[in-house]
């Protein structure tokens, strides 16, 4: 998988580099070519261009960004475009990431470009393709609670309980957490049910979960549920009567 990702990134870099030549000519930064290698050797983190005016600084950082891209150093190219204030170039890098299926990287780059339109479009694309992890990431970066809740609803339908619990906890949607907990109990996914009821703060449901688990002989699960509900009586009952089985 790592090798495949490396090939994908190399192909992406090649595609970007092909489009760079025209950009470089348009920007007319030939005068900076003798400076750029020195700046690259120093490192983007250590470069001080405060002696130049805003326009010159921007041109230099753009030149650095293009050269870093040409050499395959995506991280420093992105840093350079950020310092240049070149949001359009950041978006283009994000689009290339998206084209090769590296959606997490694309989301990060769109965020740096402050491109909510691209973030929203990609979030919905990930949602349509059941790529829940990246959809959640994008909606979180946009602080889009409605979008997150829609992801959560789809996760419930598909039985992706871990994502559903995570999402509804993030949005503070206790009613949905209760729904997830009930659904998990019906599916005997008691671990996720316990987590959902705990985050929703419903001790009554936790006690009911403990009762169900105890009837099925799931002592550890029952003990956890009773502990979370602060039901000391049932915690003591299990420990004193079934303590030896719990330690097995």
- Taking the CA of residue 9 as centre, how many other CA atoms within 13 Å lie in the half-sphere pointing to its CB? 14
Confidence of residue 13 (pLDDT cuts 50, 70, 90): very low
The string of DSSP letters for 52-65 reads S-HHHHHHHHHHHH
Predicted model pTM: 0.74
What single DSSP character describes residue 218? -
Which residues are CB-contacts of 17 (< 8 A; sequence separation ≥ 6)? Answer: 69, 70
Of 37-41, 96-100, 134-138, the range with the lowest mean pLDDT is: 37-41
Q: Which pLDDT value is given to residue 26?
A: 45
Judged against a pLDDT cut of 50, whether residue 21 lies above it is answered with no
The per-residue pLDDT for range 37-76, each reduced to its tens digit, is 888 888 888 888 888 788 888 888 998 898 888 888 888 9
Judged against a pLDDT cut of 90, whether residue 88 lies above it is answered with yes
Judged against a pLDDT cut of 80, whether residue 149 lies above it is answered with yes
Q: Which pLDDT value is given to residue 27?
A: 47
Q: Which pLDDT value is given to residue 33?
A: 65
- Which letter, b or e, does each residue of 202-237 get, where b requires 16 or more Cβ atoms within 10 Å of its Cβ? bbebbbbbbebbbeeebbebbbbbbbbbebeebbee
The per-residue pLDDT for range 175-216, each reduced to its tens digit, is 999 999 999 999 999 999 999 999 999 999 999 999 999 999
Q: Which pLDDT value is given to residue 44?
A: 85
Of 31-35, 185-189, 211-215, 237-241, the range with the lowest mean pLDDT is: 31-35
Q: Which pLDDT value is given to residue 23?
A: 45
Domain locations along the chain: 160-248
Query: Alpha helix (H) ranges present in 28-113?
Result: 36-42, 54-70, 74-84, 87-99, 103-112
Long-range Cβ pairs for the range 198-205 (8 Å, 24+): 198/228, 199/165, 199/168, 199/169, 199/174, 200/174, 201/174, 202/178, 203/228, 203/229, 203/230, 203/231, 204/229, 205/178, 205/181
Q: What share of the chain is helix, strand, coil (3-state, %, to 5)?
A: 80, 0, 20
> Residue 60 — φ and ψ, nearest 5°?
-65, -45
- Taking the CA of residue 22 as centre, how many other CA atoms within 13 Å lie in the half-sphere pointing to its CB? 4
Q: Which pLDDT value is given to residue 71?
A: 86
């Amino acid at each position: 998988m790592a090798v495949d990702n490396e090939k994908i990134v190399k192909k992406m870099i090649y595609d970007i580099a092909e489009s760079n030549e025209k950009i470089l000519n348009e920007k007319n930064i030939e005068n900076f070519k003798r400076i750029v290698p020195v700046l690259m050797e120093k490192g983007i983190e250590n470069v001080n261009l405060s002696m130049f005016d805003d326009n010159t600084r921007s041109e230099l950082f753009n030149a650095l960004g293009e050269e870093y891209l040409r050499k395959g150093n995506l991280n420093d190219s992105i840093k350079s475009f950020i310092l240049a204030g070149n949001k359009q170039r950041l978006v283009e890098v994000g689009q290339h990431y998206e084209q090769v299926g590296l959606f997490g990287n694309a989301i990060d780059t769109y965020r740096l470009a402050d491109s909510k339109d691209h973030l929203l479009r990609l979030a919905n694309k990930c949602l349509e393709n059941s790529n829940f992890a990246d959809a959640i990431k994008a909606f979180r970066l946009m602080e889009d609670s409605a979008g997150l809740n829609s992801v959560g609803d789809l996760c419930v339908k598909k039985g992706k309980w871990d994502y559903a619990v995570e999402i509804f906890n993030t949005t503070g949607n206790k009613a949905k957490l209760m729904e997830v907990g009930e659904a998990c109990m019906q599916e005997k996914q008691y671990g996720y049910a316990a987590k959902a009821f705990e985050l929703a703060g419903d001790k009554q449901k936790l006690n009911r979960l403990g009762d169900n688990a105890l009837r099925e002989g799931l002592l550890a699960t029952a003990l956890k549920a009773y502990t979370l509900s602060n039901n000391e009586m049932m915690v003591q009952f299990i420990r004193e009567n079934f303590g030896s089985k719990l330690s097995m």
